[in-house]
Structure 1
Amino acid sequence: MKGLTPDRRVIKIKELFREYGDGDARVVALSGVSLHIEKNEFVAVMGPSGSGKSTLMNILGCLDQQTSGHYWLDGREVGSFDDESLSAIRNRHIGFIFQTFHLLPRLTARQNVMLPLRFSDAGAAAADGRAVEMLERVGLGHRVDHRPFEMSGGQRQRVAIARALINRPKVIFADEPTGNLDSRTSEEILELLCALHREGQTIVLVTHEREVAGRAQRVIRMSDGAVVEDSKCCA
């Protein structure tokens, strides 16, 4: 209808609970979390160990499912999808960056970046071209045929970022992406994430470091499975 504002929420969750175990062994990892994340937001999720931040990220990344509540990704309620459908969502719409890179040691940078395309309809030449394009985008056009053991930690994380970008995801989830890097390399990776955000990428970053969270637009703090603060970042 004329005059309506398009819904910019790429992520919306309502009354999300995640419980593990039964009886005396029952653990409530998430306790009624509700929030939304808009397209092109850069959001940091903070909290101590056991706060629920990793559980929340796993559900948002379709690696886990809630016990109850609702999760919409880009307008589709995905919280009740079966494993096959969730796998398709992860492959086509979500990019992951992990603290430990998760690269296959025997594959080159180019081959690692191409991995998410193995279930797509992209031909071999197109997949190769896109992998090289993504590696160039993260400053590794000269390292496309090097294997992880031939690269520094920062370079390996850049390969992981290129892999996360290959399918043009709706959202990138970054789990402690600078946790295994020195301060100078961490700054380079954070600046790369900021550059991707400026280009329009939606990013959700999990961290326990204030300095890292300060690079985001918005900080969500969690404790005991609940959101205790949701604020714009002034940095």
Structure 2
Amino acid sequence: MIEVENLSRTYGHGETQVHALQNVSLNISEGEFVAIMGSSGSGKSTLMNILGCLDTPTSGSYRLAGREIRSVDDETLSALRNRDIGFIFQTFHLLTRLSALENVTLPLRYSDTSTENAKALGMVMLEKVGLANRSHHKPFEMSGGQRQRVAIARALINNPKVIFADEPTGNLDSKTSHEIMELLCNLHRQGHTIVMVTHEDDIAAYAQRVVKMKDGIKVEDSQC
């Protein structure tokens, strides 16, 4: 699913250069649940952004489902992000003026899916995360855990090839964090490929494999 070879990312020039990633190689198979760990500045978020096609490497190769991403133009890349990748963010990134259902179906606005079919599919996704009864509620009417569930439903709406979760429990209390992780584990058991960034050992323990980063270098890759 994901093939990374000698990936590097450098920001700035001259004395101000920052080597965020240095010759990282990594393969992730379809159906895996992988946690990427590291302290602040380790390169884990930069790696996530490149894997999620939100950033581009300075050098090296990244292939997603067999496609070399560096050769893809911006328009195709945008379509790929919408169709093949699902994102779950620490801060949810929900639109406050929209209902839960409208937030979930937002990615379908850029497809040829009819409004009726989009609503039906959105309800299926909300049912999947246990929030069908909150479909008309807006984000400010929901708890943090419920908002993250809406974000997960939105990430699933296009049946993506891979789900990227960036600190998905970072803004949640301990009990809610573990509820969200159980939901992600259930999605993994259903066959979804999940790549998650976290700095918490107990959250990483839910994954089947942990990749540890330090100073832009992959220092460990182990099975849980």
Which category of TM-score, normalised to the shorter sequence, fits these structures? over 0.9
Q: Does 1:40 align with 2:28?
A: no
Equivalent position to 1:195, from 183, 186, 192: 186
Q: Does 1:141 align with 2:137?
A: no
Distance 1:63 1:89 in 2: 11
What's the counterpart of residue 109 of structure 1? 100
What's the counterpart of residue 210 of structure 2? 219
Equivalent position to 1:170, from 129, 151, 161: 161
Pairwise CA RMSD of aligned residues?
Answer: 0.6
Matched letter for residue 84 of structure 2: H
- TM superposition outliers: structure 1 runs of 4+ over 6 Å: none
Q: TM-score, normalised by structure 1?
A: 0.94
Shift of 1:184: 0.7
Distance 1:145 1:152 in 2: 14
What's the counterpart of residue 59 of structure 1? 50
Distance 1:113 1:88 in 2: 17
Distance 2:57 2:36 in 1: 18
Post-superposition Cα deviations, 1:179-214, rounded to whole Å, max 9, x if no partner, equal 111111111000000000000000001000000000
What's the counterpart of residue 180 of structure 1? 171
Shift of 1:224: 0.8
Distance 1:82 1:51 in 2: 29
Between Structure 1 and Structure 2, how many residues are aligned? 224
Matched letter for residue 49 of structure 1: S
What's the counterpart of residue 4 of structure 2? 13
Q: Does 1:125 align with 2:126?
A: no
Distance 2:27 2:203 in 1: 21
Shift of 1:114: 0.6
Shift of 1:83: 1.9
Post-superposition Cα deviations, 1:87-119, rounded to whole Å, max 9, x if no partner, equal 111000000000000000010000000111111
Shift of 1:121: 1.2
Distance 2:21 2:76 in 1: 23
Shift of 1:80: 2.9
Matched letter for residue 161 of structure 1: I
What's the counterpart of residue 221 of structure 2? 230
1:27-106 matches, cutoff 5 A: 27-106=18-97
Unaligned runs of 5+ in 2: none
Shift of 1:81: 1.8
